[in-house]
Amino acid sequence: MEYVTAAQTALSFYASPNKMSLLTIYLRRSEAIACHYLKRMDEAEAYLLDALRSCLPHGFITPFVESVDYFSGLMERCLKREFQIAQLVTRGVPYREIAARFFVSEGRMRNMIKEIQGKLLINNKAELAKLIL
């Protein structure tokens, strides 16, 4: 409980309501980890999604990749669709089959995979496999 309180106190001093700073992102991530550990899953998901919404459009995933083990499935829950697609790609499932599972065209699926790779700052399936597996 103290960890959540410490992160929230720090946020009250340093967080800017108009801008997500690096410190704010790491504190939100810390709140998510602490709430997850305390089995307060709805709060953990809300804190994690808050930080992810600020980071992912800019390809900034470092705070999340370096702590994915602490989330024990919460990251997958928040990024369910992207994570499922990435898992299928790394298992060698053809794009045509993945597209059918998600009810999109094969071309749209290729674009989605490129978007996922772009967010993760990687260039190919091999690099994706290293992150996912």
Domain residue extents for the chain:
2-72, 80-132
Domain boundaries 80-132, CATH class = mainly alpha
* CA-to-CA dists, residue 126 to 87, 106, 108, angstroms: 12, 20, 21
Residue 115 has pLDDT above 70, yes or no: yes
d(CA 60, CA 43): 22
Residue 98 confidence (pLDDT): 93
* Reported pTM: 0.57
Check residues 39 and 66 and name the one with the higher pLDDT: 39
d(CA 83, CA 43): 21
d(CA 32, CA 72): 11
Question: How does pLDDT run across 53-106, given as a tens digit for each residue?
Answer: 777 766 677 777 777 777 777 877 777 788 889 889 989 999 999 999 888 899
* Burial annotation 88-106 (CB, 10 A radius, 16+ → b, else e): bbbeeeebeebbeeeeeee
